[in-house]
């Protein structure tokens, strides 16, 4: 593959309705799930700090300010994930953790329900690009 998959990005309505605080909380809860999963060894000990970095990425992706770019530069997602052995199983565990956190996401994070299918489609379409083993 010579570039990221061509998948529609999440709707900017997500940031409009959720705001930064809810996206940060969503990612904290997601990293808590990851910390209990079989792939927890791929993540730093300080899951809260890692979740904040990831939240900065998702805030920009979902229509907010480009915080990740401002704080850390270009995401270089594939390069940043290369030190880890990521196989199909790890990708599926990662997706499953996201899916668990997104249950009742309207109530928990004010996630716009009509945007959820597109968001999940983005995750499912983009995540295979991180598989390197």
Tell me the per-residue pLDDT of 58-100, one tens digit each, with 9 for 90 and over.
999 999 999 999 999 988 888 888 888 999 999 999 999 999 9
Q: Which domains, ranges and CATH numbers included, belong to the chain?
A: 13-126 (1.10.490.10)
Q: Please name the residues in contact with 36: beta carbons below 8 A apart, sequence gap of 6 or more.
A: none
pLDDT digits (tens, 9 = 90+) for 99-132: 999 999 999 999 999 999 999 999 999 999 999 9
Is pLDDT at 1 greater than 60 in this prediction? no
- CA-CA distances (angstroms) from residue 115 to 13, 26, 30, 37, 45? 8, 15, 18, 26, 32
Q: Please name the residues in contact with 41: beta carbons below 8 A apart, sequence gap of 6 or more.
A: none
pLDDT digits (tens, 9 = 90+) for 29-54: 999 999 999 999 999 999 999 999 99
Q: How much is the pLDDT for 3?
A: 63
Largest CA distance in the chain: 39
Whole-model pTM: value is: 0.93
Confirm if 54 and 101 have CB atoms less than 8 A apart.
no
- CA-CA distances (angstroms) from residue 128 to 28, 64, 133? 23, 25, 11
């Amino acid at each position: 593959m010579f570039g990221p998959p061509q998948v529609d990005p999440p709707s900017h309505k997500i940031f409009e309705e959720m705001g930064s605080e809810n996206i940060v909380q969503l990612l904290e809860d997601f990293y808590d799930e990851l910390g209990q999963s079989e792939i927890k060894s791929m993540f730093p000990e300080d899951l809260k700090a890692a979740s904040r970095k990831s939240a900065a990425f998702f805030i920009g992706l979902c229509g907010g300010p480009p915080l990740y770019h401002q704080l850390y530069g270009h995401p270089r997602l594939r390069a940043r994930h290369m030190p880890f052995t990521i196989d199909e199983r790890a990708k599926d565990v990662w997706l499953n953790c996201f899916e668990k956190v997104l249950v009742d996401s309207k109530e928990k994070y004010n996630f716009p329900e009509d945007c959820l299918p597109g968001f999940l489609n983005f995750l499912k379409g983009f995540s295979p690009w991180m598989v390197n083993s």
